[in-house]
Chain A
Amino acid sequence: MPLNEFDIAVVGAGHAGCEAALAAARLGMKTALFTISLDAVANMPCNPSIGGTAKGHLVREIDALGGEMGKAADATFLQSRMLNRGKGPAVHSLRVQSDRVKYHLYMKNAVEHTEGLFLKQDEITDILTDKNGRICGVRSKLGSEYSARAVIIAGGTYLKGKIFVGSVSYKSGPDHTLPADYLSDSLEKLGVTLRRFKTGTPCRVHRRSIDLSKLEVQYGDEKITPFSFENDKPLENKVCCYMGYTNEETHKVIKENIGRSAMYSGQIEGVGPRYCPSIEDKIKRFSDKPRHQLFLEPMGLDTEEFYVQGMSTSLPEDVQLAFMRTIKGLENVEIMRNAYAIEYDCCDPTQLLPTLEFKNIPGLYGAGQFNGTSGYEEAAAQGLIAGINAALKLLGRPPLILDRASSYIGTLIDDLVTKGCQDPYRMMTSRSEYRLLLRQDNADLRLTEIGHDVGLISDGRYQRLLKKKALIERETARLKQTNIPPNEKLNELLISRGTEPISTGIKLSQLIKRPQLDYASLAPFDPDRPDLPDEVCEQAELNVKYEGYIAIQLEQVEAMRKLENKKLSADTDYSQIKGLRLEAAEKLNKIKPLNIGQASRISGVNPADINVLLIRLAQTKSEENS
């Protein structure tokens, strides 16, 4: 007899697990959220920070779909910055420094206060199946069984977690929690292919041991953009961050001791993230660089701990101390938590459908680092989608699959399930081919409706969105219609901004299109300008300024969607299709793409193979017609 009965069981209460459980419960599913430690719910074992390039986009999309991460980040941040301000709206990225403990408490509270959601400290060791092989529940280390019609694995770095510091290694979860040593075997028995990835984290140091006067200060933004589109409270920065540099002496210490690094001594078999290398990796790979940047970031308001961004390492503790002390400002540094590398089991995400359900194990879902990604935001995004889809399936509703043109979340999941990943996957703006459409500033316009349809966005919020949309459209149209006659003051402004003065009347939109000008500076010449919220003005301005580019991108989307509409059957045996190269047939059989568009993105499937598929599709169609 099971100890308790659930619709959905979520294994792991990190950033993926929390979003998955919240979404499932909010959609009316009786949901269990299991964690090895209640004190590690939504923990940030690495950087106490949310957002960053492309990751900030993910958080805003999570918010627009009805997830929790954006709200949690807004409620607990210490400093907020919009990165890439000078590089264009597509790559503007919001990043906050978070209070690690407060974030954990916020999320734990949110989970605790959600109806139908049961947070439980217990290590899950087995996934249970019924006599037909269907997923039917989970079993804990204490032998307790819980029934569930769907199970979401969000095990993070806990699965057979192993920490490495120099030559020392031991079984452990992140931040010295207990590892989950048994679940992997149960998953493998079900047919999940696992592999080893690794990641690392730098040391934490004591504030009093840092000479902050020797470091560059980094202030937060004066005007803060919140993550959540629902947030209209005033926000303020509470701390500064600091920036320093390594030097030749630092590099010398590291090079002399590189043989003592767990990564270089060959103890670690897991594959590390290419995009977030350890300091010894950076020095080896970019040996011509005389210095590397590092950031000192407070871990919270109630602690003296500082995080040292950019210095993750698996060197022994004495070497860590030695090289840290070569850095200007850190001459007397005192390490409170040492840096370490951690190795863990994760799945090959090409086993997953775009719903994040395992293709061959109906009812079992994967999310977060378990799917081969790195980063809290990537994890949360997958958690949300897995939670939604597990619930929708049990409710008998159609699944939620976001395509690449809809969101970074869609792009992330498409990349994972179509291309897989060879090392921990990090989201980047360059991964999206529709960057100018998928901006962080319009995530609500893109996704709120979907969130509302799913059932995670309230009617009130959706109505507000519709109102905003209408205002944007009206203002955009007004900018295109309003004619501005030439006048002396205006021409003075134009000349001072280094752009051509006007001699005849001109549409306001034509002026805004000029890179030297913007919406705000033209206010004095636009007497009929209505009083609108900032975010409405921003959207209208971007619509006008980037009109040509947006049109190009929309064409690209249309072309892409045409290919996405050419459906492929999951029953197709590609090895039986003549003309396909062997490699392509194998890859196609493994991925079982839903459509030609997805097939064309599989690495190892080249255009010639796609043409074979197209020709075959056309043949099948003409046979059906005749």
Chain B
Amino acid sequence: MQAICAVSTPLSEGALSVIRISGADALTIAEKIFRRADGGKVCDMAGYTCAYGNVVGSEGIIDDAVLTVFRAPRSYTGENTAEISCHGGVYVTKKILRLCCENGARPAQRGEFTKLAFLNGKMSLTQAEAVMDVITAQDELSLRSADRIKQGELFTRTENLRQRLIKLLGALAAWADYPEDDIPELSGEQLCETLTESVETVRRLLKNYDNGMLLKKGIPTAIAGKPNVGKSTLMNLLLGYQRAIVTDIAGTTRDVIEESVQLGSVTLRLSDTAGLRGGADRIESIGIELAKKRIADSALVIAVFDGSQPPDEEDIKLAEQLKASGQRVIFLINKVDISKEDNAHLYSELCRNDARINSGIDARINAGNDARINASIDAIEISAKTGAGRERLVQRIEEMFGAAGDDDSLLFINERQKDCLDRAEKRLTAALDALSGGMTIDAVTIDLTQAAEALSELIGESVTESVIEEVFSNFCVGK
């Protein structure tokens, strides 16, 4: 097979560019274009060694560079690999790449290096996919998840589940194939139990998809409150610049303003909403409706109260509504710089949430979850104007959504994996329905087999070519 080559670093100006060549002929090709400063030959270099020298084309020296050699199978792709680290100019990099092609390599397709690594048995399919996730990770949690998948954790979990189903199928097969051998019949309850557990396992894995998506895209967060309690000021404080127009006229914000902001290890997709009040004009009313919808759709609501005023009916209504909604809420008592002690106390009482709150990453996203810990949250006093209390707010958000080291659900699956799990879930649910409906076992095993096959597909145990293409087309060139 012809060697492949690509620029493995971003093609823009920088200190360094890396051009990678992989294939049986990689070192021969490198030999033709790289002249070692010490006069030695590239083909004599051992794996994991590098040499300084010049990249030389037909018109002479193109650049000085460092060449690193990896020898099969101890390389990323499992094949001989040469990496040229040259100066990070776009023109010079492209020129060296062209030189590689002129000397026998061909440009790599998207993700082809990793594809080779997969084909050469260097990594499993899920691991290969995780490499992509490591590259694209934008935050701590996504990186940690990608790393865990790369270590094979998703593989292990899926494989365990698959083995369980295969075991079950084996038991059912024996029972059907040996009617005269008094093989113990699996009771309906036993079957249901295993299936229910399996469905739950699949659903837990699936939930991670949502979690991952939310973390990658940012946690939808709505800032809610009466008009003129300082929502826009808070938005600006968190963003670090004037995004929302702030006046002391109640009802200034009429539209929903949305921005992403990184707070600690967490990305929030912040929406500043119109203040909630009765008796607003028509335009403002539309804004209020939008605000309500946004609040309902959010994974986090930051409720803002004006600490300089005692709580009124609207405040009480908002606090009660939010507490009853089962949504994840942080109550802020704003304007502490000008508020009175008594007010803070009143708001604290008002906002004391006796509901048990969720923890863990499942809970971070989905309120109303079972896995809750018993802790009532206190309102946070803040001054959006001076920035006092910002630290505490960030800390609270991190507590709610931040990384929990050994969190089970920190495995953010991708679209393809989700699709496989969706199918497994559908088939397992169908199997359960069929069982409870009194369907014959021979039909139920079809569902089970399909579920197991979907899991096989996830971990690359039975992959069709389209799956492979799908997986590898999502890689950037050079990886």
In angstroms, Cα B119 to Cα A553, docked, is: 30
A265-308 contacts to B (CB < 8 Å): 293, 295
Interface size class of chain A, counting residues whose CB lies under 8 Å from the partner chain: 35 or more
B177's partner among A428, A433, A556, A608 (CB-CB below 8 A) is A428
Q: How far is the CB of B450 from chain A (nearest CB, A)?
A: 7
Residue pair A430, B176 in contact (C-beta under 8 Å): yes
Residue pair B442, A607 in contact (C-beta under 8 Å): no
Residue pair B177, A436 in contact (C-beta under 8 Å): no
Q: Which B residues lie within 8 Å of A93 (CB)? A: 179
Which A residue sits closest to B430, measured CB to CB?
Answer: A548
Residue pair B119, A612 in contact (C-beta under 8 Å): yes
Question: Is residue B15 within 8 Å, beta carbon to beta carbon, of the partner chain?
Answer: no
Question: Is residue A83 within 8 Å, beta carbon to beta carbon, of the partner chain?
Answer: yes
Q: Which B residues lie within 8 Å of A293 (CB)? A: 180-182
Which B residue sits closest to A294, measured CB to CB?
Answer: B180
Q: 1/0 per position for B438-479, CB-CB distance to A under 8 A?
A: 111111011001100000000011111100100000000000
One of A7-15, A84-92, A132-140 contacting the partner: A84-92
In angstroms, Cα B112 to Cα A141, docked, is: 64
Interface size class of chain B, counting residues whose CB lies under 8 Å from the partner chain: 35 or more
In angstroms, Cα B464 to Cα A579, docked, is: 17
Question: Is residue A40 within 8 Å, beta carbon to beta carbon, of the partner chain?
Answer: no
In angstroms, Cα B182 to Cα A295, docked, is: 12
Which A residue sits closest to B170, measured CB to CB?
Answer: A430
B70-109 contacts to A (CB < 8 Å): none
Q: How far is the CB of B168 from chain A (nearest CB, A)?
A: 12
Q: How far is the CB of A604 from chain B (nearest CB, A)?
A: 13
Q: 1/0 per position for B404-440, CB-CB distance to A under 8 A?
A: 0000000000000000000000000000000001111
Q: Which A residues lie within 8 Å of B120 (CB)? A: 579, 608
Residue pair B180, A295 in contact (C-beta under 8 Å): yes
Question: Is residue A97 within 8 Å, beta carbon to beta carbon, of the partner chain?
Answer: no
Which A residue sits closest to B459, measured CB to CB?
Answer: A607
In angstroms, Cα B438 to Cα A124, docked, is: 56
Which A residue sits closest to B437, measured CB to CB?
Answer: A515
In angstroms, Cα B440 to Cα A84, docked, is: 11
Which B residue sits closest to A555, measured CB to CB?
Answer: B450
Residue pair A552, B438 in contact (C-beta under 8 Å): no
Q: 1/0 per position for A602-626, CB-CB distance to B under 8 A?
A: 0000011001101100000000000
Residue pair A83, B443 in contact (C-beta under 8 Å): no
Q: How far is the CB of B105 from chain A (nearest CB, A)?
A: 15
Question: Is residue B118 within 8 Å, beta carbon to beta carbon, of the partner chain?
Answer: yes
Which B residue sits closest to A514, measured CB to CB?
Answer: B437
Which A residue sits closest to B169, measured CB to CB?
Answer: A430
Question: Is residue A26 within 8 Å, beta carbon to beta carbon, of the partner chain?
Answer: no
**Given A54-B177, A433-B449: A88 in contact with B443 (beta carbons within 8 A):** yes
Q: Find the residue from B121, B170, B179 having the highest chain A CB count within 10 A.
A: B179
**Given A436-B443, A579-B120, A611-B468: A516 in contact with B438 (beta carbons within 8 A):** yes
A552's partner among B176, B179, B180, B450 (CB-CB below 8 A) is B450
B439's partner among A86, A515, A556, A612 (CB-CB below 8 A) is A515
Q: How far is the CB of B24 from chain A (nearest CB, A)?
A: 7
A497-533 contacts to B (CB < 8 Å): 514-516
Rank and list the top 3 A-B pairs by shortest CB-CB distance, nearest first: A88-B440, A88-B442, A430-B173
A-B pairs with beta carbons under 8 Å apart, 24 shown: A83-B179, A84-B179, A87-B440, A88-B440, A88-B441, A88-B443, A90-B443, A91-B176, A91-B177, A91-B442, A93-B179, A295-B180, A309-B180, A429-B173, A430-B169, A430-B176, A435-B446, A515-B439, A546-B443, A578-B24, A579-B119, A608-B118, A612-B119, A615-B119
Q: A53-B176, A611-B468 known; 4 other A-B pairs, CB under 8 Å?
A: A83-B180, A552-B446, A578-B24, A611-B463
